[in-house]
Structure 1
Amino acid sequence: MHMLKPALLSLAVAGTSHAALAAEDVSNLFTGGKAILDARYRFENVDQNNNLRDANAQTLRTRVGFQMGKWYGLSGLVEVDNVSRLGDAAYNSTRNGQTNYAMVVDPDGTEVNQALLRYDQAFGSAVLGRQRINLDNQRFVGGSAWRQNEQTYDAALAQLKPLDGLTLTYSYLDNINTIFGPENGRFDNRTNPANIEGHSHLFNAQYLVRPELAVTAYSYLLGLDNIATTATSPLGSLSSRTSGLRLNGALAGFSYALEYARQQDYADNPLDLDSEYYLAELGYVFKGVQLKGGYEVLGGDSGPGNRAFQTPLATKHIFQGWADQFLTTPADGIEDAYLGFTAPLAGGSLQAWYHDFDTEQGSDSYGSEIDLSYAHPIPGVKGLVGLLKYASYDSDDRARTVDTDKLWVQVQYTY
């Protein structure tokens, strides 16, 4: 694991006098702590209209760890994940060599998911080590927690809150532990390394003016050395500078989000990037039912190589449909018009979504998708939840994509 020098921890300790530190028992770190136990079983079926065999994956993700209590603002966290295959390897995990099957990106392995030190005080916090980072709605930086191996970051992160409603966030990323880990092997390629190496800087400033308006400005400088846009693209082609502005809020049952960003090349990216991102979204809550519709655009570029707007560190599964057909933005870009709802039903939660996908360059169609899910606590065991989920993508018989159906059955226990 790439570990950073504990400079932030030293600053935190230096800011507290020796006498004050002696006044509180250091045993609070352990007596005030809490054990972490989480087990998630999942069956995933993938049926694609191509030459690949249907995938049937059964996996179990087990997470154990310990969250320390606080001692004058200092605390720590250690968390270890194991992903194990149950039954036959009738799927392509990107590491098992089963390339005649459809892909289910849940490789076997054991890895430290988080190992960090944290310092909290009245005007902010600092975190050092392997950690979870989810910024805003995770469209550009997130943990991809849907996959069995979560994406975490070897990083230093600082948050300052100098004024009421204002949060300033900076993070330096030394290494990214991707969903494709924990190990590389002879079946990986330059689009799916277990660890993304490089030096990246995340800047995010959010000001909550009032509940009706939050303003967020950001600039994400990603130096990603050993990953590429496609298996044949040059390494470093996902290094980028993405800067943008987001407005969101809620009033009288309505919610909205408006966002714009521009992406350019950064670090040693051999491609000349210049593309744009747009989002307009409107929601309404009525008697517990949350309705939402939106229009999202990731710009394309017709020049040599795929120079479209990319989001390499995003939690991609929650955007552009659960069938995950556009994890890499096509060279022609993509326009996603979507509509859906979340509603309580019989003690559980029902979701339904519809997406219509078009090219951003030109006026062609990629296809459409329907997504459905239902989650419900399982009676008799506190912390046990069942989930049934389905995604159906219709490619409109386009050569660039294929009809895809995915089904998930999941049971998760959280202590």
Structure 2
Amino acid sequence: MQIARLIRRTSPLFLALVPTLAAAAGDAGPILDLRYRYEHAQQRGIAHDAHAHTLRARLGYRTAARHGWSALAEADGVARLGGRYNDTRNGRSGYPAIADPAGTEINQALVRYAAGDNAATFGRQRINLGNQRFVGGSAWRQNEQTYDGVRLQLAPTPRTTLDYAWIAGINTVFGPEDSPASHRANPADIEGHSHLLRAGWRLAPALTATAYHYRLDLEGVAVAAAAPLGSLASRTTGLRLEGGHGDWSYAAEYARQRELDGNPWRLDSRYLLAELGYALRGATLKAGYESLGGGDGPGNHAFQTPLATKHVFQGWADVFATTPAQGVDDAYAGAAVPLAGGSLQAGYHDFTPQRGGGRYGREIDLSYARPIPGVRGLGGLLKLARYRSGDRARTADTDRLWLQLQYAY
């Protein structure tokens, strides 16, 4: 906890020193990323529709490597340009949540040493592990999630990799500040001593295995606003197999989640995944089944992924950002097709409880992304999600629409 606080206090000083480091190293480069987004949300049971106009500006500097050492620092500022919505901090509970509160924060401030395929990173950093199902940056939100700590990445042999991170603090998408409207399930910052360990083996040209163990000591946060603090402290152990042959790709995964010391609840739930993909004339097709198991006992003891990039999974409407107590099974199919210089993407999800029977509902997702002609680095995105509940006592009909322009230098 003290290290996390130290990083937060010294990050502004580090940001000021980076240009000096860059001048010494040579070949330095600035970072500029501007992202405007309009988001509309409509949810059954909430009085008003939400409309949000936001702008995220990211400024930073990356040094060139000198004797293996380099540095990076960047700051994010999120501005509210208009609209009415619940940003999780303004108390507007009569509107659907759009978790893009305004504010400015140091997004990354790090020093890195690299030698060949081995690297060590110290400070506030972006961590995206694998497909980000368990640990990621949630970069879809305007305020990215980053981590205060140390990460070691090693390649002992050409066929093996090791990845370990010690995390002292997490800067969530709900930051940079708490407010009277925030609660224990959406803090701006999470402290604790968490450990992330992964080991990968290339078993064959068409098959890779990755074993992982994540110990999340998450203090001051809970699975729900009314749940006890510490109820997200967990230890998750799993194995993922993935690969491809010709035009086919495939993945299978299994994990078990138990409670960590300090969690007042006993946890014992499972994660399962099976996915098959196929590439056809520039298009990518995929279908799969993902299960996050429910748990026993009062309260929500289901399999949770609190550090994941959740928007990528279980539909863009984010109905299941927290796994329900009964768990959730997701049978899905999707496609990405090149179209008119851009990419058209479509997805379908059928959600059912992992325990207890019944069904949650179905979702259709569509998006089209394309570079804007005439301006290098500028791209546009149109995206929508439509969720329809099959059991209105547990989930609510939800529609979301996004229009986005992003410029990156």
Structure 1 residue 398 corresponds to structure 2 residue 401: no
Paired letter, 1:334: V
Structure 1 residue 106 corresponds to structure 2 residue 100: yes
Cα gap change, 1:3 to 1:166, in 2 (>3 Å) = farther
Distance, in Å, in 2 between the alignment partners of 1:265 and 1:368 is 31
Deviation at 1:165, TM superposition (A): 2.4
Q: 1:2 aligns with which of 2, 5, 9?
A: 5
The answer for the alignment partner of 1:32 in structure 2 is 27
Q: 1:370 aligns with which of 364, 377, 381?
A: 364
Contact 1:3 1:130 survives alignment (8 Å): no
The answer for the alignment partner of 1:21 in structure 2 is none
User: C-alpha deviations, 1:345-372, integer Å up to 9, x for none?
Assistant: 0100000000000000022100000000
The answer for the alignment partner of 2:306 in structure 1 is 312
Structure 1 residue 209 corresponds to structure 2 residue 203: yes
Structure 1 residue 167 corresponds to structure 2 residue 167: no
Paired letter, 2:362: S
Paired letter, 1:47: Q
Distance, in Å, in 2 between the alignment partners of 1:3 and 1:240 is 25
Q: 1:131 aligns with which of 120, 125, 129?
A: 125
- Percent of paired sites with the same residue: 58
Distance, in Å, in 1 between the alignment partners of 2:333 and 2:288 is 7
User: C-alpha deviations, 1:80-109, integer Å up to 9, x for none?
Assistant: 000000024x00001112121111000000
Q: 1:49 aligns with which of 19, 25, 44?
A: 44
The answer for the alignment partner of 1:346 in structure 2 is 340
Aligned length: 394
Q: 2:88 aligns with which of 86, 94, 110?
A: 94
> SS of the counterpart of 2:82?
coil
Matches within 5 A, 1:145-224: 145-224=139-218
Deviation at 1:179, TM superposition (A): 0.2
Distance, in Å, in 1 between the alignment partners of 2:261 and 2:31 is 39
Cα gap change, 1:347 to 1:211, in 2 (>3 Å) = farther
Specify every segment of 5 or more residues in structure 2 that has no aligned partner in the other structure, as ranges.
8-20
Q: 1:67 aligns with which of 62, 71, 75?
A: 62
User: C-alpha deviations, 1:234-284, integer Å up to 9, x for none?
Assistant: 000000000000000010100000000000000200000000000000000
Distance, in Å, in 2 between the alignment partners of 1:364 and 1:140 is 27
Contact 1:28 1:71 survives alignment (8 Å): no
Matches within 5 A, 1:189-338: 189-338=183-332
> SS of the counterpart of 1:296?
strand
TM-score, scaled relative to structure 2: 0.94
The answer for the alignment partner of 1:409 in structure 2 is 403
The answer for the alignment partner of 1:15 in structure 2 is none
Cα gap change, 1:397 to 1:331, in 2 (>3 Å) = closer
Paired letter, 2:5: H
Distance, in Å, in 1 between the alignment partners of 2:329 and 2:117 is 40
Contact 1:191 1:228 survives alignment (8 Å): yes
TM-score, scaled relative to structure 1: 0.93
Specify every segment of 5 or more residues in structure 1 that has no aligned partner in the other structure, as ranges.
5-25
Computed over aligned residues only, the root mean square deviation of the Cα atoms, in angstroms, reads 1.3
Contact 2:330 2:351 survives alignment (8 Å): yes
User: C-alpha deviations, 1:203-239, integer Å up to 9, x for none?
Assistant: 0011123441110000000000110011110000000
> SS of the counterpart of 1:86?
strand
Distance, in Å, in 2 between the alignment partners of 1:111 and 1:202 is 24
Contact 2:359 2:391 survives alignment (8 Å): no
Paired letter, 1:45: H
Contact 1:29 1:70 survives alignment (8 Å): no
Contact 1:301 1:332 survives alignment (8 Å): yes
